[in-house]
Amino acid sequence: MTASTARTDTRPSPRKRAGNGAARQHDTDEIGLDALVGHAGYAVRRFQIWIFQDFIRTLGEVGIRPTQYSVLTVIGANPGLSQMAVANRLGIERARLVHLLDSLEQRKLVKRIKSKADRRSHALHLTAPGETALAKFKRLAAEHERHVEEKIGKANRQRLLRILAGFT
Amino acid sequence: MTASTARTDTRPSPRKRAGNGAARQHDTDEIGLDALVGHAGYAVRRFQIWIFQDFIRTLGEVGIRPTQYSVLTVIGANPGLSQMAVANRLGIERARLVHLLDSLEQRKLVKRIKSKADRRSHALHLTAPGETALAKFKRLAAEHERHVEEKIGKANRQRLLRILAGFT
DNA sequence: GGAAGATTGTTGTTGACGACAACAATTGTT
DNA sequence: AACAATTGTTGTCGTCAACAACAATCTTCC
């Protein structure tokens, strides 16, 4: 083992870790993953956690989470959609979209307009402040995307998008 | 101005609308995602949902979920680990691992052995039936992995694993 | 025209999951 | 011995996916 093992834990203590030589304690980076390596799902899960955390942190100043951002961009690009249409397009349950829209409507970013044609459904629109806010969100999201590039590389990010294009 | 009906979704859009007066609903595939396309996080999220659903379905007959599988494989490959070590290695909170191990121990797949060296910690081991069960889980997980290959292609799966290798 | 069935939005529940906080028991430090 | 840190545990909170049930409304079919 190399003497300069990079510590991945965030313990602030400069002291040596607990543990004795008798019962051999594993260091974090010498624990094998065995079958987990080679499973795409595991890598994707870890990556998704990282990417969501960076997104949430980067857009933390405006208080927008990934799902909220996706709802806003779809409404912004397709004004007048019904809740069902948005839910289907984004793969969100319509029950869940209700709460998401409640929050966004409370923040005056989105408005539900009762449809004349189908009085069951609501036509979704961005408010005027919602439009300007979304523009700012997009700038921050682009900044987040640059973080992704720094993390995995510009070319790899492009490969990733191409590989997963079928899921959007 | 709108030509025919007084709809609420008047806007500049590349999307084509049906000319009839009836309330034409959007088809799912003609709703634009706008800025969402080009965001790695969105594609990764959708892919992760798909891959987890397939994993859960493929391992449904044995009732093993992705997180449980990851815990079992790590313990199987590194017997005697403490709960902290497993939690750190997999990026799981130790509070959450408690419940996971409770469930796995109740199913007689894992056992907690009180460590002599450090009486605070437990050494984690697979039981004998746990070993044979894990072997079956691995076969099913390999089947799931073949589904991934069918979905995105064998070469793309390899590219994906290489791109995201740093997150495992 | 009217009954039957489907759709839309809503409310509610369940369970998995990540993030924290607090605690007792134990260990290490000073 | 006094103090700080670690380990496992319990608990709470919020996000999210998956269902189920419901009223209001549309569509279909007879």
**In the structure encoding, which two tokens stand for residue A35, read together?**
């079958």
**Average pLDDT estimate for A28-46:** 81
Which residues face A111 on adjacent strands?
A125
Question: What is the pLDDT at residue B3?
Answer: 35
Which residues does A164 contact at the CB level (< 8 Å), separation at least 6? B43, B44, B46, B47, B152
Nearest-CA distance B121 → chain A (Å)? 11
**Average pLDDT estimate for A107-131:** 94
Q: Chain A: residue nearest B148 by CA?
A: A40
Helix (H) or strand (E) holding A51: helix A40-58
Question: What is the pLDDT at residue B149?
Answer: 94
Is B116 near strand C, with its CB below 7 A from some atom of it?
no
CA distance B161 to B163: 6
Q: Do B161 and A40 touch (CB under 8 A)?
A: yes
A30-39, A116-125, B21-30: least confidently modelled range: B21-30
Residue with more model confidence, B23 or B130: B130
Instruction: Provide the 8-state DSSP code for A81.
Output: B
**Residue percentage of chain B with pLDDT more than 70:** 81
Model confidence band, residue A27 (pLDDT cutoffs 50, 70, 90): low
- Residue closest to A138 by CA, chosen among A86, A51, A74: A74
Is A18 near strand C, with its CB below 7 A from some atom of it?
yes
Reported as a single tens digit per residue, the pLDDT across B84-102 is: 999 999 999 999 999 999 9
**In the structure encoding, which two tokens stand for residue A69, read together?**
């951002």
Is A142 near strand C, with its CB below 7 A from some atom of it?
no
CA distance A66 to A75: 14
Q: What is the 3-state secondary structure (H, E, C) of B99-165?
A: HHHHHHHHCCCEEEEECCCCCCCEEEEECHHHHHHHHHHHHHHHHHHHHHHHHHCHHHHHHHHHHCH
Nucleotide lying nearest to A121, CA to C1' measure: C8
Tell me what the pLDDT averaged over chain B comes to. 84
Q: Do B161 and A113 touch (CB under 8 A)?
A: no
- Residue closest to B36 by CA, chosen among A60, A150, A126, A86: A86
A122-126, B9-13, B123-127: least confidently modelled range: B9-13
CA distance A37 to A32: 9
Is B100 near strand C, with its CB below 7 A from some atom of it?
yes
Q: Chain B: residue nearest A143 by CA?
A: B39
Model confidence band, residue A28 (pLDDT cutoffs 50, 70, 90): low
As a whole number of Å, the CA-based R_g of chain A is: 22
- Which CATH architecture best describes the domain A40-167? Orthogonal Bundle (1.10)
How many CB atoms sit inside 10 A of residue B138's CB? 16
Residue ranges of domains in chain A: 40-167
Nucleotide lying nearest to A91, CA to C1' measure: D17
- Please return the burial class of B93, using the count of CB atoms within 10 Å of its CB with bins 0-12, 13-18 and 19+: exposed
Question: What is the pLDDT at residue A69?
Answer: 96
**Residue percentage of chain B with pLDDT more than 90:** 74
Would you say A101 and A142 are in contact if contact means Cβ atoms under 8 Å apart? no
Which residues does B153 contact at the CB level (< 8 Å), separation at least 6? none
| 22-41 of chain B touching strand C, CB 7 A cut-off | 25
Instruction: Look at residue B10 and tell me whether its pLDDT is greater than 80.
Output: no
CA distance A60 to A54: 9
Model confidence band, residue B122 (pLDDT cutoffs 50, 70, 90): very high
Question: What is the pLDDT at residue A4?
Answer: 35
Task: Report the residue from A89, A145, A166 with minimal CB separation from B28.
Answer: A89
Helix (H) or strand (E) holding A162: helix A154-163
> B39-167 — its CATH code?
1.10.10.10
Q: Do A23 and B116 touch (CB under 8 A)?
A: yes
Would you say A117 and B23 are in contact if contact means Cβ atoms under 8 Å apart? yes
